[in-house]
Amino acid sequence: MVRSKINHNNTGYWFIAPFVIGFLVFGLYPVYNTIALSFTDTTLMKADSNFIAFKNFERLFADKTFLTAIKNTWTLWIMNFIPQIGIALLLSVWFTSNRLKIKGGGIWRMLFYLPNLLMPAAIAALFFSLFSFYGPVNQFLVRGGYIPEAVDFIRSPSVMRGLVVFIQWWMWFGQTTILIMAGMTSISLSLYEAAVMDGANTWKMFRYITAPLIKPVLVYVLVTSLVGGMQMFDIPMLLTDGRGSPANSILTNNILMYMKFRSSQGHIGAASSVGVVVFIMTSFVSLLIFYLLREKSDEKMAKGN
């Protein structure tokens, strides 16, 4: 055949080339550059910069603000992730259940997902106005006799933390629900039928069929949420003064990094060091999650062989 003159053995490389090039330029290079910058005192307002080894990191860990930011980021993420995954699991079970047969699943899914499409800036501005000292929440509570006098919610660390957690939960539970539902609907119905035959109740079916089979989806949800959570930025940044006020209660890793970046000198070296620490922390925890939730059956099979 004439066609065989062209060698197709290497065609595959052309197909993956766009990804590889994109990854090298937009993925790997920035990683390298960030790590390189974090060992210098580079600023945007000075042409020269010096290698200062681990000085940026020493300063970071001597600085209480950084430890506060890490603690805040973890608190805010965990407090929004637990209800998020809980509600998402519950909704997914309901909407995929053969017994309940809820109608209009698609519409519900869309409604759950809608908050995710709103602009964070608009949501933050909305909640700020609602909870401000002269805002409607205070008016409602005081005029209804629930509290004796107006409270400055914007200055209350617990209220502001609660708001960030709530907004993050509200924006992201739909996304998680959709992912988990997709995982659940891919489980073969025959498994449930067999379980019903054997007299299993709803809880047992969830525990022994659904849960193990959606584990890969859960790992995915957990890791992507962790990655997103460690970079939490827009809502806490826009909700108050952009500096994590009140009392640094909603100061996250990325707000801290941005504050260093946009300071009058543009300390990008110091800002990079925050990025590097967040990178190491997130990588370590992600790998730990992969390790703890690994497929145990693989190992058994390997041992058997």
Q: Does 300 help bind other proteins (rule: CB under 8 A)?
A: no
Residue 299 contacts other proteins per CB under 8 A = no
x-or-dash pattern for other proteins, window 61-80, by CB under 8 A? --xxxx--------------
Shortest separation between residue 218's beta carbon and other proteins, angstroms: 16
Find out whether 120 and 234 touch, Cβ atoms under 8 Å. yes
User: Looking at beta carbons only, is 129 or 186 nearer to other proteins?
Assistant: 129
Site for other proteins in 84-123 (CB under 8 A): 121
List binders of other proteins among 222-281 (CB under 8 A).
Answer: 223, 227, 230-231, 233-234, 237-243, 245-248, 254, 256-267, 270, 272, 274-276, 278-279
Q: How many helices (H) and strands (E) does the chain have?
A: 16, 0
- 163-222 positions binding other proteins, by CB under 8 A: none
Asked whether position 159 contacts other proteins by CB under 8 A, the answer is no
**3-state secondary structure (DSSP) of residue 33:** helix
Is 149 a binding residue for other proteins by CB under 8 A? The answer is yes
Q: Which of 44, 100, 114, 288 binds other proteins (CB under 8 A)?
A: 44
**Cβ of residue 297: shortest distance to other proteins, in angstroms?**
12
Q: Which residues contact 50 (CB under 8 A, 6 or more apart)?
A: 40, 41
Contacts of 269 (CB under 8 A, 6+ apart): 37, 38, 39, 40, 41, 42, 43, 49, 52, 56
∠ at Cα 123 (65, 143), nearest 5°? Answer: 100
Q: Which of 13, 14, 26, 203 binds other proteins (CB under 8 A)?
A: 26
Q: Which amino acid type is present at position 149?
A: E
Question: Which among 302, 291, 275, 198 is positioned nearest to 35, based on CA atoms?
Answer: 275
